[in-house]
A and B are shown apart, each in its own frame.
Chain A
Amino acid sequence: MDPQHDPDVQRMIALQNGDLTAFDFLFRKYVPDVVRFARRFVGSSARAEELAQDVFLQLFKTRDRYQPTARFKSWLYRMVSNACLSDLRSADRRYRLAEPAGRGEAELGSVPGVPESALPPSRSSEDEVLGEEAITGLQQAVEALPPQQRAALLLNRAEGLSYEEIAIALDTSVSAVKSLIHRATVTLSGRIAADAGGSR
């Protein structure tokens, strides 16, 4: 897709030209997805919101340097991925440590229709609590992935970006993305199976 035909690229150009309503529009449209990605990546709702706000502040501050070379979503997730990877590298993990255990579980626990293959075989259909535990296991397994694999997997499975868009966001090749996602998928699947075996 030609970036010039992306309506959000046009909004970003409008923001460059001083249209502040374009910022509000882009914020409202993308912030829920950005928070979700960051939430899955760093494992903390509070930190995810801060990261999302930081990204949009950065977007506003650097709007003059924006070049429409890719779809707006790919460009935005490049900023988001960088912010999350930087956050992971930084030693400031107080939000995650301070957050009460179980908040993430509640969020993921509301996911309907999770197939058996992603959950422990011991999952009891009549026990909703066990289901939440299983989904929490998935979130924890995602957080245990290496950062690049985690970013690639989440960009595809959570945000629906194509491999090509992920390559732009992570500044790598499509074949590297293919490998990252495959390894992440296999690791995740194996870890969940192992957890299921352990809890049985």
Chain B
Amino acid sequence: MNCTRDRDELTAHADGEVRGLAWLRLEVHLARCGSCRAEMAERSAVVESQRRALSAPVEVDTERLLAESRAALAALGAEQAGSAARANSQAPPRSLAWVRFAFAAASLSLALLLGAATLVVQSGGWRPALVALGVEPAPRQLVRQADMFRDYEIIRELEFLEFFDAVAETPLEDERAAAELRHYG
């Protein structure tokens, strides 16, 4: 045992907390070292005096404290019961809650149905609607490019012809133009 390092071993020894080999080593050291032996005796006396003084019972009215604690627990229980009752009174009755749930589910179903019907009408048939809803796969190519450009040329020709017809069928209202037509005609 190192005298300067292990002074706390003496306190632990006085508390009966040194056991086994550590206890044996300390006892051997105390047998050889008069200084530590004297300190050990002093430490034991100090520890014993502290134990006696500090462990002396204090006056406690146990039954009064128990009664007060029971009252506090009862108050706590009443408060918790009151909170639970308030929470229950604010919540709707179970039957009404089911009605509300059913109404919400029906409203949602109706909205989905109307949405699907609108989609069908606007897209002109079931197939686009089914494609939009993901039930059927989308066509790989809606219009081939060659057809598209062919159609574009036809449309341009039609527009031109319509314009020509419009000019031909327009009645001449101008008097001079009418006189010229009669003169050359």
Interface set, chain B 86-145, CB cutoff 8 A to A: none
> What is the chain B residue whose CB lies nearest that of A59?
B69
- Taking the complex as formed, is B8 at the interface, i.e. its CB lies under 8 A from any CB of chain A? yes
Question: Are A163 and B12 in contact (CB-based, < 8 A)?
Answer: yes
Question: Are A49 and B60 in contact (CB-based, < 8 A)?
Answer: yes
B26 CB to closest chain A CB (Å) equals 13
B56 proximity list for chain A (CB < 8 A): 108, 110-112
In the complex, per-residue mask of A103-136: 1 if CB is within 8 Å of any chain B CB, else 0: 0000110111111011100000000000000010
- Taking the complex as formed, is A93 at the interface, i.e. its CB lies under 8 A from any CB of chain B? no
Q: A113-B52, A118-B53 are in contact. Are A32 and B12 (CB under 8 A)?
A: no
Interface set, chain A 168-200, CB cutoff 8 A to B: 178-179, 181-183, 185-186, 188-189
B32 CB to closest chain A CB (Å) equals 22
A-B pair count, CB < 8 Å, reads 113
B17 proximity list for chain A (CB < 8 A): 162-163, 178
Of B49, B52, B60, B68, the residue contacting A32 (CB under 8 A) is B60
Distance, CA A85 to CA B62, complexed state (A): 23
Question: Are A32 and B57 in contact (CB-based, < 8 A)?
Answer: yes
Question: Are B57 and A36 in contact (CB-based, < 8 A)?
Answer: yes
Q: Majority SS of interface residues in chain B?
A: helix
- Taking the complex as formed, is A80 at the interface, i.e. its CB lies under 8 A from any CB of chain B? no
> What is the chain B residue whose CB lies nearest that of A164?
B17
Question: Are B62 and A118 in contact (CB-based, < 8 A)?
Answer: no
Question: Are B8 and A188 in contact (CB-based, < 8 A)?
Answer: no
Distance, CA A135 to CA B56, complexed state (A): 12
- Taking the complex as formed, is A65 at the interface, i.e. its CB lies under 8 A from any CB of chain B? no
B54 proximity list for chain A (CB < 8 A): 40, 138, 142, 153-154, 157-158
Question: Are A118 and B49 in contact (CB-based, < 8 A)?
Answer: yes
> What is the chain A residue whose CB lies nearest that of B10?
A182
Distance, CA A27 to CA B62, complexed state (A): 8
Question: Are B55 and A160 in contact (CB-based, < 8 A)?
Answer: yes
B159 proximity list for chain A (CB < 8 A): none
Q: Majority SS of interface residues in chain A?
A: helix
Q: A60-B73, A114-B53, A157-B50 are in contact. Are A107 and B58 (CB under 8 A)?
A: yes
In the complex, per-residue mask of A26-66: 1 if CB is within 8 Å of any chain B CB, else 0: 01100110011001100001001100110011001100000
Question: Are B11 and A181 in contact (CB-based, < 8 A)?
Answer: yes
A188 proximity list for chain B (CB < 8 A): 46, 50
Distance, CA A183 to CA B43, complexed state (A): 12
A178 proximity list for chain B (CB < 8 A): 8, 11-12, 17
Question: Are A45 and B8 in contact (CB-based, < 8 A)?
Answer: no
Question: Are B8 and A115 in contact (CB-based, < 8 A)?
Answer: no
Question: Are A31 and B65 in contact (CB-based, < 8 A)?
Answer: yes
Q: A27-B65, A40-B54, A57-B76 are in contact. List 16 more A-B contacts (CB 8 A).
A: A32-B58, A35-B58, A53-B68, A115-B45, A119-B49, A153-B50, A154-B54, A160-B55, A178-B11, A179-B8, A181-B11, A181-B12, A183-B8, A185-B47, A186-B7, A188-B50
A residues whose Cβ falls under 8 Å from a Cβ of B: 24, 27-28, 31-32, 35-36, 39-40, 45, 48-49, 52-53, 56-57, 60-61, 107-108, 110-115, 117-119, 135, 138, 142, 153-154, 156-160, 162-163, 178-179, 181-183, 185-186, 188-189
List, sorted by A's number, 22 A–B pairs whose CB atoms are closer than 8 Å.
Answer: A28-B62, A32-B60, A35-B65, A39-B58, A45-B58, A48-B58, A53-B65, A57-B72, A110-B56, A111-B53, A114-B53, A118-B46, A118-B49, A119-B49, A156-B15, A178-B11, A182-B7, A182-B8, A182-B12, A185-B46, A185-B47, A185-B50
Q: Which 4 A-B pairs have the closest CB atoms?
A: A118-B49, A182-B8, A111-B56, A158-B54
